[in-house]
Amino acid sequence: MPSKRAFILLLVLIGLVCHRLAADDTKLPGKHVLIQEGATLLVQDPDGTNRRKIAEKVDAAALSPDANLVAYVAGEAVQVFSLLDGQSVTVAHLDYEFVQSLAWSPDQKHLAYDMGTRTKSWDLFLASYPPAGDTPRNLGPWYESISFSPNGKFIVHPAFDATALPAPPNILETVNVETGKRETIYKSITTIWDAKYSPDGSSVAFIMTDPEDDASERDSGGVVSDLWILRLDSKKAAKIMADVIDFEWSPDGRSLAISKGSEENGEYPPDDAAVFISSVDGKDQFQVSKNAPSLRAKFSPDSKEVIFVEFNAYRFVIADLATRKLTPLPAYGSRNYGSSVYDWK
């Protein structure tokens, strides 16, 4: 028979092991899907269980690289919520009209966000995490998306060609995070809407108004947008797919999840919106969604699945890319437009 002391020690050890397992479970890759339902930000397991409300009236949000932190913009502040201890900290106070994008740096030491300032312009800001009491750095004028290079040294985005004003955002521009120096890496004759580095940093995928679109105007960009990939070593761009609404790189960098649909009537989402998977060279493409409109797909961390929104069914769907099997999740309660998937890590 073990002594009373030994029995107590055994119980303590069991408790420590259970605590460690619970903590490790929180850190499991693919455990967290960050979603928005109406104005509510939530984290859930990929199967729709273990839902956890993070905040209300959120403008933008992002999971940290280690998937344990949720950064979000709400209540005139950039906040970070810890999924490990449930605590929140304020990273930056805002004086803004609207924040459109928010992104973690790869080393998880900074948060980048774009903000409409009192002068009505949009600027890019870089805040420290954990907050160090310093004022977020203003990296200057900004437009549309925020995408860090994998090494964290650069951020790419669509920008305006200062030599040809007035003009639409028709260049791809990088900003050096440390020095603030800007460089044009691609110039178009039409509007560029979105840009994202590939996971290995060798390429930038971007959405650009189709040059053949007869409705294209310098102030609106037309109605037909195509997905292109720019190889940074050659500075050559190749068209991947037409009629693109949004896109996402797979974590392994081998493919892209693309929402495709016509926007001729100016409606969002288009009635025919569908989710496709494409190889990086555009030669292998297939549709994964069945019910239109479907859009806003995000890859699982292992690149084997995607989760997307079935807009009219008010639900999220997971697609296994090897089998093409679709698994609908329970319909969400809030039937407000604007529900989306922010991230899956």
Convert the pLDDT of each residue in 129-183 to its tens digit: 999 888 999 999 998 899 999 999 999 999 987 776 556 788 999 999 999 999 9
In a domain, 77, yes or no: no
CA-only gyration radius of the chain, Å: 22
Nearest CA to 105 among 147, 58, 160? 147
- Residue 229 · residue 203 · CB < 8 Å: yes
| Chain position carrying tokens 């053949």 | 212
Strand partners, 344: 33
Q: What angle do CA 78, 79, 84 make, to 5 degrees?
A: 155
Evaluate whether residue 294 is within a structural domain. yes
Q: Is residue 245's pLDDT more than 50?
A: yes
Domain that holds residue 318: 250-345
* Residue 334 belongs to a domain: yes
**Mean pLDDT, residues 310-337:** 85
The number of folded domains in the chain is 1
Instruction: Please report the DSSP string for 202-246 in residue order.
Output: SEEEEEEE-TT-TT--TTT--S-EEEEEEETTTTEEEEEESSEEE
Domain-embedded: residue 181: no
pLDDT band at 18; cut points 50, 70, 90: very low
- Is it the case that residue 17 has pLDDT exceeding 50? no
State the amino acid at position 100 in one-letter form. Answer: Q
Answer whether 0.75 is exceeded by the pTM: yes
Measured CA to CA, the distance from residue 120 to residue 147 in angstroms comes to 23
pLDDT on residue 264: 61
pLDDT of 87: 95
Structure confidence at residue 83 (pLDDT): 96
- Beta-strand relationship, 236-241 and 147-148: unpaired
Can the peptide bond before residue 330 be classed as cis, meaning omega within 30 degrees of 0?
no
pLDDT band of 335, cuts 50, 70, 90: low
Q: Higher confidence at residue 283 or residue 13?
A: 283
Q: Among 345, 339, 288, 344, which residue's Cα sits nearest to residue 313?
A: 339
pLDDT at 95: 76
Taking residue 337's Cβ as centre, other Cβ atoms within 10 Å add up to: 11
| pLDDT (0 to 100) of residue 14 | 36
14: in domain: no
Residue 153 maps to a domain: no
pLDDT at 16 over 80: no
Do 262 and 244 form a contact (C-beta atoms < 8 A)? no
Q: Which tokens sit at 2?
A: 């073990």
pLDDT of residue 136: 94
Which H or E run contains 61?
strand 60-63
Q: What is the pairing mode between strands 69-73 and 52-56?
A: unpaired
Return the structure tokens found at 144.
């549309």
Report if residue 293 sits inside a domain. Answer: yes
Angle at 257 between CA 145 and CA 169, to 5 degrees: 25
- State how far the Cα of 113 lies from the Cα of 104, in Å rounded to an integer: 9
The CA distance from 97 to 294, in Å, is 30
The pLDDT of residue 118 is 62
- Taking alpha carbons only, the member of 340, 298, 297, 291 closest to residue 313 is 291
Residue 314 lies in a domain: yes
Mean pLDDT value of segment 256-270: 82
Per DSSP (E only), the strands in 83-146 are 88-93, 99-104, 110-116, 122-128, 137-141
Tell me: pLDDT of 2 over 80.
Answer: no
